[in-house]
């Protein structure tokens, strides 16, 4: 089942259950997919990889907004953004724990032959592709920096 079909089915469920927050997040995802489908060169379809990238982007945007709202003491808006993050994350693969992330990055560092912080670019390029959807770029970057500076 495509993501769009799944989202449409979930929108119907959310409407019947009168879940406003979930409905808002689902409609936002559907809107992103429809925009991507109508973009020039998309050919009326969106690949699974592009869908994943859209979901990751949506989660990142909402987390960034939530951080700003938290900083400004707007807990009401913070809660709304975090509720949407939870809904969107349901459609992403299971996120790696810190230990799993370290293990995956250790393999990548070994493959690339990285030994110092100078090699971070090589590691990040490969890690970003390999771990797309499983971990966010910020946590990957933090762990890579730590691992390369300790070696």
Looking at the fold, whether 76 and 116 belong to one and the same domain comes out as: no
Q: Residue 103's domain spans which residues?
A: 98-150
Separation of alpha carbons 89 and 114, rounded Å: 32
pTM passes above 0.75: no
The whole-angstrom separation of Cα 139 and Cα 104 is: 13
Q: Domains in the chain: how many in total?
A: 2
pLDDT at 110 over 70: yes
User: What is d(CA 25, CA 116) in angstroms, rounded to the nearest whole number?
Assistant: 42
pLDDT in tens, 51-74: 888 888 898 899 999 999 999 999
Asked if 118 contacts 142 with a C-beta cutoff of 8 angstroms, the reply is no
**Res. 44 pLDDT band, cuts 50 70 90:** low
Asked whether residue 120 falls in the same domain as residue 59, the answer is no
- Interval 100-116 mean pLDDT: 85
Give the Cα separation of 144 and 119 in Å (integer): 10
Do 7 and 72 belong to one domain? Answer: yes
Greatest mean pLDDT range, 28-37, 45-54, 109-118, 124-133: 28-37
CATH number of residue 124's parent domain: 1.10.10.410
In this predicted model, what pLDDT tens digit does every residue of 142-151 receive, in sequence order?
Answer: 888 888 887 6
Q: Are 32 and 60 in contact (CB under 8 A)?
A: no
- Do 122 and 70 share a domain, yes or no? no
Judgement on whether residues 10 and 81 belong to the same structural domain of the protein:
yes
Residues 9 and 82 in one domain: yes
How does residue 10 score in pLDDT terms, banded at 50, 70 and 90? very high
Percentage of the residues of the chain whose pLDDT score is greater than 70: 95
Residue 67 and residue 9 share a domain:
yes
């Amino acid at each position: 089942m495509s993501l769009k079909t799944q989202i449409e089915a979930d929108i119907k469920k959310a409407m019947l259950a009168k879940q406003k927050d979930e409905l808002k997040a689902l409609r936002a995802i559907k809107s992103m997919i429809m925009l991507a489908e109508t973009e020039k060169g998309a050919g009326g379809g969106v690949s699974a990889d592009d869908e994943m990238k859209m979901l990751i982007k949506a989660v990142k945007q909402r987390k960034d907004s939530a951080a700003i709202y938290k900083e400004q003491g707007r807990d009401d808006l913070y809660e709304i953004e975090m509720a949407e993050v939870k809904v969107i994350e349901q459609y992403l693969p299971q996120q790696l724990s810190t230990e799993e992330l370290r293990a995956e990055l250790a393999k990548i560092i070994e493959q690339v032959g990285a030994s110092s912080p100078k090699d971070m670019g090589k590691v990040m390029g490969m890690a970003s592709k390999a771990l797309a959807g499983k971990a966010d770029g910020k946590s990957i970057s933090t762990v890579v920096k730590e691992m390369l500076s300790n070696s």
